[in-house]
Structure 1
Amino acid sequence: MSAAAAYGPPGGRQAIAVWSVGVSVYFVAVIFRTSLGVAGLDAADRFGVNASALAAFSILQLLVYAGMQIPVGLLVDRLGTKKVLTIGVVLFTAGQLGFAFSPSYGLALASRALLGCGDAMTFISVLRLGTRWFPARRGPIVAQLAALAGMAGNLVSTLVLAWLLHEVGWTAAFAGSAAAGAFVLVLLLLFLKDHPEGHEPPRVAQAGSAYVREQIAAAWREPGTRLGLWTHFTTQFPAMVFLLLWGMPFLVEAQGLSRGTAGGLLTLVVVSNMVFGVAFGQAIARRHTARLPVAVGTVASTAVLWAAAIGYPGDAPMWLLIVLCVVLGACGPASMIGFDFSRPANPPERQGTASGIVNMGGFVASMTTLLAVGVLLDATGDNYRIAFASVFVLQAFGLTQMLRLRKKAACREREHERLVAASSAPVEASV
């Protein structure tokens, strides 16, 4: 083993430059992913659909996204980041263009599925890029910064795309935004590298179904992977459901706010997310034991504020909606803690697969809740109080799983740390 490989990736300016290219791809993917959040009411009018059919856009997109996570993780481990990201950019750009020009509900639905397929290839690839270019101790803050870039994409969607929809209309707004996909594709092809010199990952000699089964089984056997999945599942979905589709209708139709005011509150969620992302990343990088308390505290705070907002007699006061949106901003950064549980539990050649398993969690929960809210709204005559209460069921289930796995994951992580320390000591002595 070389000295470079023994000490891990170097970081530095080149790492930041290469990683930034990957993050720019994720940034654009999130713009496209969340574009329906500000266009939900426009989509309902354009295609003449009810709440359940409107929810199907986001549900199908997330179904494809979640279903692709393990295959994408396997692809990243075998093919590397650059190839997978290239495929992803082509697919999500084609999906955005298709959505712009779709004349019918069915074609628009197919376009969102294509977009979800390309989007699914971005975040896992960017996480792997971070582990290949930065030292392990930087893992939590690098992952949070990647998520922060994604929320910046959400902010662009909330502010810029909403303005474009009003100014130039549906087709021009969505087709024009697709140009960003072409731009990041050029950056990706010219400047992105999978890993620094001297830090090539081990070659995967196996292929076929046996390799796939073993990769998935080995990742799943680790309690840290399962704890990561349930952490992601439990923390992410309330904010995702609010931003991706139901926040704008809830604030406008149930709370009587103008679309401008509702858009401002959605923007507050995104800004809050960015602030919490930096804070959580720094806190967890300094003290790993803060991971579970931060995640559980986020779940509890979200549940309390969510209940207060939907249970308030009449329209909730503005101060309560503001506090709710600020707390929802913590959901995305808290979900990133899931990757901090899976990362030390799996070797480098299995990181993509493990990350794919974890990343399924929040999107499965989001997809389930999006569907439940849509169905309940249709069944109750748009009673948001009943529909939004479905959030508590998934929170309770996910929290139970997190608490059940926490001790097993902690013991296994300490075991891994002892093995790594024992194996690296002779190498360091020889260097």
Structure 2
Amino acid sequence: MSTFNVNENIEKRKINYGWILVGIMLFGAVVNYLDRVNLSIAGTTISGEFHINPIKMGLLFSAMLLPYSISNLPAGWLADKYGEKKIFTIATIVWSIATLAAGFSKTYSSLYTSRVLLGIAEAPFFICGAKITKKWFDDRNRGLATSVINMGPPIANAIAPPLLTVILISFGWRSMFVGLGLVGFVVTFLWLTFYREKSNPKVKRVDIKSSENKNNGKVSWAVLLKHPSTWAMMIGNFGLIYVFWVYLTWLPTYLKTARGFSLMKTGWLAAIPFFAGIIGVPLGGYLSDYLIDKKGFKPIKARKTVLVIAVIAASIVVAPVAYVKSGSLSVILLTIGFLFSSMPNGVVWTLATDVAPEKLVGSLGAIQNFAGYLGGTIAPIITGVIISKTGSYNLVFVVASMMLIISAITYGVFLKKKIEIKDEPGTI
């Protein structure tokens, strides 16, 4: 057998093992997001039991978002410094404990604290996912692999209403939280059982452990923040996550109050866009890989091309949602809009692996996600203010469309090249 064939077979085995890790991460992503949205499913029941007014309930809904956003920053640094195996293990254990604790909460303050802890603990998840795909996949496959991990949120948001509602009705909200907390430990078990530093002892690769620990003592984020590519990714992701959380928090209310659908029908209609997202996320990753493998695009150009086209298409479809007369047509537009706006979900994380040096993938991904979830944090608030001041949803979707346009411009125009950092004293 020729040397070429031997190397090709080894590479295939390496990629195949990488897909095992991606499968575990996908399962973890679904659990991760079910832990986030379980509160919205049980919100009415919990507010009644604890006698929580709407303002305090709104604070409870947003309790995890700002801690999650801020915690991305140390999470990225920790993942780069100590490696994804340790950080992911600790994260899954802590977020499972937080979900369990919520199920046993006796007071509003204890429930609120558990949600804050959940936000902190879930911050490293997608950062670790980006580091996994950076190590185990080349440019031709990394976009799809990263996007598969990022299918977790739309899958969770699509199945949460029917699945968690059945559990809630059958066993109560506390059992729902406890059950999800126990499933989190299954993610930890799978991770510890199947995680490997190397896919094959014969593969001649850079020693991962040494590459993680080499020069990881001091990482100056000032160097990253001085680079225009970092700011382009931060501003771009701010707009993308803003729109995602408009869907996540206000879509059911919009369908019920503005379009007049029944509560039962609203539950099912609100899930339709997220089912479209299950298609959109991997499609975005696949197309960006296709442009690299079949059309010879450079990685950054390939990711940007798919992202910009998808985001512009989403902005065009979302803007008129509130202005069409037909409720059914508005759902169709929302679904198509979410299909397009979900295509960049995996692409933005893949961009972090394309743009950053390998030892700073976690850090750059964390900075990008931190900025994104600042957008996610203010999205429900701004939406509420618009509705309160105008009495309609018209501007809600116009603002969402504008956010998407801003994202397209910043990623498309200002993200131009890789970040190259020299090993200088005090820098790394």
The structure whose residues are more often helix, as a share, is 1
Instruction: State which of 299, 307, 313 in structure 2 corresponds to 1:295.
Output: 307
- What is the SS of the residue equivalent to 2:154? helix
Q: In structure 1, what residue type is equivalent to 2:323?
A: G
Deviations 1:74-131 (A, max 9, x none): 1111111111111111121122122223233322221111111121121111111121
1:308 aligned residue = 320
**Does residue 118 in structure 1 map to residue 121 in structure 2?**
yes
Cα shift at 1:164? 1.6
Counterpart contact for 1:237–1:331, Cα < 8 Å = no
**Does residue 225 in structure 1 map to residue 225 in structure 2?**
no
2:251 aligned residue = 247
- The change in CA–CA distance for 1:329 and 1:49 in structure 2 (over 3 A counts) is farther
2:360 aligned residue = 350
Distance 1:262 1:217 in 2: 46
- The change in CA–CA distance for 1:44 and 1:308 in structure 2 (over 3 A counts) is farther
- What is the SS of the residue equivalent to 1:226? helix
Cα shift at 1:272? 0.6
**Does residue 98 in structure 1 map to residue 101 in structure 2?**
yes
Number of corresponding residues:
400
Distance 2:226 2:12 in 1: 27
1:419 aligned residue = none
Distance 1:362 1:84 in 2: 21
TM-score, normalised by the number of residues in structure 2: 0.82
- What is the SS of the residue equivalent to 2:62? helix
- What is the SS of the residue equivalent to 1:87? helix
Cα shift at 1:207? 6.2
Distance 1:45 1:31 in 2: 22
Distance 1:387 1:40 in 2: 23
- The change in CA–CA distance for 1:160 and 1:297 in structure 2 (over 3 A counts) is same
Cα shift at 1:273? 0.8
Q: In structure 2, what residue type is equivalent to 1:133?
A: W
Cα shift at 1:132? 1.4
- Give percent identity, aligned residues only: 20
Counterpart contact for 2:101–2:114, Cα < 8 Å = yes
Cα shift at 1:155? 2.9
Cα shift at 1:274? 1.3
Distance 1:303 1:351 in 2: 29
Distance 1:45 1:398 in 2: 40
- What is the SS of the residue equivalent to 1:193? coil
- The change in CA–CA distance for 1:230 and 1:380 in structure 2 (over 3 A counts) is closer
Q: In structure 1, what residue type is equivalent to 2:303?
A: R
- The change in CA–CA distance for 1:387 and 1:276 in structure 2 (over 3 A counts) is closer
2:268 aligned residue = 264
Distance 2:379 2:252 in 1: 16
Instruction: State which of 286, 294, 304 in structure 2 corresponds to 1:282.
Output: 286
Distance 1:12 1:24 in 2: 19
- The change in CA–CA distance for 1:113 and 1:375 in structure 2 (over 3 A counts) is farther
Cα shift at 1:184? 1.5
1:174 aligned residue = 177
Instruction: State which of 147, 166, 170 in structure 1 corresponds to 2:150.
Output: 147
Distance 2:397 2:50 in 1: 25
Deviations 1:292-324 (A, max 9, x none): 3433344344334433222346xx421321331
Q: Which runs of 5+ in 1 are unaligned?
A: 417-431
Counterpart contact for 1:302–1:328, Cα < 8 Å = yes
Counterpart contact for 1:241–1:369, Cα < 8 Å = yes
Q: Which runs of 5+ in 2 are unaligned?
A: 1-5, 292-296, 421-428
Counterpart contact for 2:91–2:125, Cα < 8 Å = yes
1:423 aligned residue = none
Counterpart contact for 1:159–1:267, Cα < 8 Å = no
**Does residue 200 in structure 1 map to residue 204 in structure 2?**
no
1:127 aligned residue = 130
1:108 aligned residue = 111
- 1:359-374 matches, within 5 Å, as 359-374=369-384
Deviations 1:126-183 (A, max 9, x none): 1111211222321111111111134323333233112222332211222222221121
- The change in CA–CA distance for 1:225 and 1:386 in structure 2 (over 3 A counts) is closer
Distance 1:179 1:14 in 2: 26
TM-score, normalised by the number of residues in structure 1: 0.82
